[in-house]
Chains A and B, each alone.
Chain A
Amino acid sequence: MSEKLHISGAEALIRCLLAEGVDLIYGYPGGAIMPVYDELYKFQDQLHHVLTRHEQGATHAAQGYARTSGKVGVAIATSGPGATNLITGIADAQMDSTPLVCITGQVASHLLGSDAFQETDIIGISTPVTKWNYQITRAEEVPEIMAKAFYIARSGRPGPVLIDITKDAQFATFDYSYKKCTGVRSYKPVPTLDHDQVKAAADAINAAKKPLIVWGQGVILGQAEAAFKAFVEKTQIPAAWTILGLSALETAHPLNKGMLGMHGNYAPNLLTQECDVLIAIGMRFDDRVTGRLDAYARQAKVVHLEIDPAEIHKNVHADYPVLADCKASLEALTPLVQPKKLDEWMARFDELYKQEYEVVIEKDLRPQKEGLSMGEVIVAINKASKSDAVIVSDVGQHQMVACRYAEFVRSKSNITSGGLGTMGFALPAAIGAKMGAPDRHVVAVIGDGGYQMTIQELGTIFQTKVGVKIVVLNNDFLGMVRQWQQLFFEKRYASTEMTNPDFVAIAKGYYIPAKKVTAREELEPAVAEMFATDGPYFLEVVVEKEDNVFPMIPTGASLTEIRLS
């Protein structure tokens, strides 16, 4: 774009968004961002603005949008409380490497530091939870800074960027021209692949007798699903996922051995402690995955394919680091590795799966109790959606159950708050997820606790008519905390029991078709009705009050101490 226009900073900001291919943003207006909203009004045929009911909802919606579309999510808010309300979503995006550009209005530059109305130091507040942030005080800065913001948010390991713009910079006019950012001299987003590292990793993998692949979201963010599958299939090495890596390889794949970590599957957790070579791909060894770090995979040589140099040796020492975008490293690695015969090793996975099935899975999916289990709800969703829905989960027991039992046939289908563990994430994230993948079924699976943290976004769903299916698994408890209280605090249920409102009436208040299920025979028909209904739908499923999620690795325990009951 080389047009020369004499326009305001606010209009320039909108034109920058358009130049970056943005057609959808989430936000909430207010005093210090009004000039930008005035321009949004003029550009509404090109740039659609979704009014959320709280700024936190705008960031989570932008996250959901980014995660299903692969594009940068954009959220916009005013100064002061508008800006601080974005912080939870920004922190979530930082932990889960989600590309966001957040724009906040700011008081006029001559008022900075005067404790003006709705002034807050959002640059200072957001610094620890952004990949980059910047305060624009002159209209002339808008094009260059916006170009840089998008470049930084989406390149390398993605993350959130916050741009604060003073009100006078929104009003001031200047000669606008836009140039896309192609590089920042102090920033190297993708390390250059070192073929010696690839060779060393390949040698270690080829020498392995009991290898295990553990993969994370890097496979999805790097658009490396095909390269990853080719690597897995060539080597025939069993592979297990972190919850952010889930859906990068289809659930039914014979080499997909399930979920890692605290509530993950028995086999991949225990066999992490037996493997001789651990091949970590695009994952960061979160403590929920590793358990007690000094007892984690001590016997194994670790190969670590990673884009972010700061992750190498951060939690787990990498014997064979391969620094690069994991698509590039996998494509270089696959030709160098030999297919393996791992019959005995694979049999170990099957054997442990059988144990887990007998003690945990069968009970979860086909309970003998009268009360419904969370697991059977997920199975009903799998069935009705032919395992091809986007599942957006919140945080807690239902999240672990959803991740454990949801089935996927394509990537970018599991959207959840992993690193930050943000209750209230799912409802607004599902709005964005559906808008990012309008042709897909998007099901938000939420607990009764998290649902009420952002329940006001029903208003956004009503207003936009976005076809989000909401499934609330209601046990009248903050279930995960209650489970811990039961197991580790002698059943002292401090403030975890919830007296809940009539959720169906609330949904109906927003004119969203709604149903409540309390008995097993009602479940499948209700889920079928939900998928058959055009537009949004709310389904409350009353589940067993005091079910626990197993397996479980207690905090601070090693993976070897995983419990089945």
Chain B
Amino acid sequence: MSQEPIQYTISIYSENNVGLLNRISAIFLKRHINIESLTTSLSEIPDVFRFVIVVEVTEPQAQKLVQQIEKQVDVIKAFYHTDEETIFLETALYKVKTSFLFEERQIQNFIKESHANIVTVSPEFFVIEKTGFRHETDALREALTPFGLLQFVRSGRISVSKAPMGISQILNSFKENLT
């Protein structure tokens, strides 16, 4: 197993209980591991939630993190994946003064070239949305910075794995064991 720290995406399927986020983040805290990004959402299964956490760790660390996460009572299953094993994206929003949109022609070019979308335009500001890889959202941020970005925000990574996760089977086998 590689001892070099690389970026891993940890995916967690869990119950949606108050305090679970705290319980999961405590596992990283205890090991002095910084969370690069964290997203929670519904999953494909009703009542089952999903965490997507990005960390930079070695593979043995990733493996142990997943073991500890999975050990938590409210966690159904956890996985770790390399970037190659997942399809992943982030979304960024950029708020810029509306006057620039018309005065600085380059801005329109940036938007077009980076396949970004204009979400809203008001007399004072407009908001651009860009979904893609980190380096793409970064590139657009750098391009827009000289024009005075009023606000910038980027979501955590969302990701789906290329391999199946098999959560429904786990839940079904639980039901069979109960009856």
Q: Tell me the A residues contacting B by CB distance below 8 Å.
A: 123-124, 127-128, 131-135, 152, 182-188, 308-310, 312-314
Contact = CB atoms under 8 A, between A and B. Distances in A.
B68 A186 contact: no
Contacts of B30: 128
A186 B76 contact: yes
19 contacts: A123-B22, A124-B19, A124-B22, A127-B19, A127-B26, A128-B26, A132-B73, A134-B19, A183-B178, A184-B73, A185-B171, A185-B174, A185-B175, A188-B174, A310-B68, A310-B70, A310-B71, A313-B60, A314-B64
B15 interface: yes
Interface in B1-35: 14-15, 17-19, 22-23, 26, 29-30
B169 interface: no
Nearest to A131: B73
Interface in B70-85: 70-71, 73-76
Contacts of B64: 310, 313-314
A135 B18 contact: yes
Nearest to A132: B73
A133 to B, nearest CB: 7
Interface residues of B, number: 26
Given A132-B73, A134-B19, A309-B67, 13 more contacts: A123-B19, A127-B22, A127-B23, A128-B29, A131-B73, A183-B174, A185-B15, A185-B76, A186-B14, A186-B76, A187-B73, A312-B67, A313-B63
A35 to B, nearest CB: 23
B172 to A, nearest CB: 10
Interface string B78-106: 00000000000000000000000000000
Contacts, number: 55
B177 interface: yes
A109 to B, nearest CB: 12
Contacts of B26: 127-128
Most-contacted residue by chain A among B60, B67, B70 (CB, 10 A): B67
Contact of A310 (B67, B73, B174, B175): B67
A313 B67 CA distance: 10
Nearest 10 CB-CB pairs, A to B? A310-B67, A310-B71, A186-B76, A132-B73, A128-B26, A185-B174, A187-B73, A127-B23, A186-B15, A183-B178
B73 A186 contact: yes
B67 A183 contact: no
A314 B31 CA distance: 13
A471 B43 CA distance: 58
B18 A309 contact: no
B41 to A, nearest CB: 17
B23 to A, nearest CB: 5
A132 B75 CA distance: 11
A317 B103 CA distance: 64
Nearest to A184: B73
A523 B174 CA distance: 59
A135 B76 CA distance: 21
Contacts of B18: 135
Contact of B19 (A133, A310, A314): A133
Contact of B75 (A135, A186, A314): A186
